Structure formats: C-alpha cells, structure tokens
Amino acid sequence: MGGSEKFVLLGKVVGVHGVRGELKLESYTEPRTQIFRYKPWRMRSATGETVIEAGGRGRAQGKGIVAELPGVTDRDAAAALVGTEIWVARSALPKAKPGEYYWTDLEGLEVVTVEGTTLGRVSHLLATGANDVLVVRDAERERLVPFLVGQYVTEVDLDGGRITVDWDADF
C-alpha cells in the first residue's frame, strides 16, 4: 500500500458458508452490513494483498455476515481466504459526524495536557467494554488515556494534529 493514503480495517473473513464459495465475515461497521457500501476492498493476508474493485455483496445471517466475492466460486477458494482482513481507503468512508472520529484519524496525533505538557503521540486505540482508550507513547513510556470527550479529552484538533487532555502527566 504505497503513498500516504490511509486505510481502515472494516472486517475479516472468519469462515466458509456452504459449498458455493460463500464466506462468513466479521464486520466492524455499524450496522454490520454497511461494509458492502465501501469499495474497493483490499484483501490482506499473510500471503499478500488483492484488490477487489467491486467489493463484496452479501447479507446478515445470525450474528455475522455471509458474503460472495467475485471469482470465489467453491468451498476450497473460500477456505483459502479465512483469516484475510478487509481494508478500505479512508477516503471511501463518509465524513465523521461532529464529535465522532475514525480511529485512523486520531493515530499519530500529538497529545498535550491542558497545562501544555506533551505526553507523546497516539500509537493506537483500544476498545474496552466501557469506552475507547488512547494509547499514547513517547520515548520513555506508554500512557492509557480514556477517550472520553468532555471528561478527559478537552479538544480534538484534527487539522492541527493535536489532542488536548485533562490528564496528569505523571499518571
């Protein structure tokens, strides 16, 4: 994946369904069938990356999704894709609603306390049962800051590349 284009992980192939090459997917979109609205899909696995221009199509079934992909017509072809991640260009996704953020847009931002102390940069985020957590790293340490806007996060400035937090630098 060359260039500066960012990609977002939207789902994963977790199994096969039937004998005609259908796949069981885990989708990280809300609602889960929203994954079919974005294309092209970049299918990434340990063996490489394939671009599927048309994306996939499918339906919700039980707790998961059953999908069909172009060129995947039998169970063996489907089984070969189990474990493959489904990525889409960030530019293919809609603009986030006010107060909502895509994780990929937060990663790499500088994190500064309300007092002006730099804590480091957002390495990545973690989903916990209660809320998302910013993993902030600098040369010395890693801090876990709950991503709660209005409580610990006082400002998110995407254009300025900075998140301001009400957080004790020693914690």
CA nearest to 41, candidates 84, 73, 89, 98: 89
Considering the domain architecture, whether residues 107 and 144 belong to the same structural domain is answered as yes
Q: For position 3, what pLDDT does the model report?
A: 55
Distance CA 125, CA 156 (A): 15
Over residues 87-95, the mean pLDDT reads 91
Domain of 22 in residue numbering reads as 7-92
Q: Which of 35, 24, 29, 36 is nearest to 65 (CA)?
A: 24
Q: How far apart are CA 78 and CA 51, in angstroms?
A: 16
Domain annotation covers residue 140: yes
Residues 35, 14 share a domain? yes
- Shared domain check, 148 and 83: no
* pTM of this structure: 0.74
From 92, 115, 132, the end of a domain falls on: 92
On whether both 108 and 88 belong to a single domain, the answer is no
Q: Are residues 12 and 88 in the same domain?
A: yes
* pLDDT category of residue 102 using cuts at 50, 70 and 90: confident
Residues 63 and 84 in one domain: yes
Beta-carbon count within 10 A of 130 CB: 8
Same domain for 73 and 110? Answer: no
**10-14, 36-40, 99-103, 158-162, range with the lowest pLDDT:** 99-103
Quickly tell me which residue has 């709660």 as its tokens. 148
> Given 92, 120, 142, which residue is the final one in a domain?
92
User: Using alpha carbons only, how large is the chain's radius of gyration in Å?
Assistant: 19
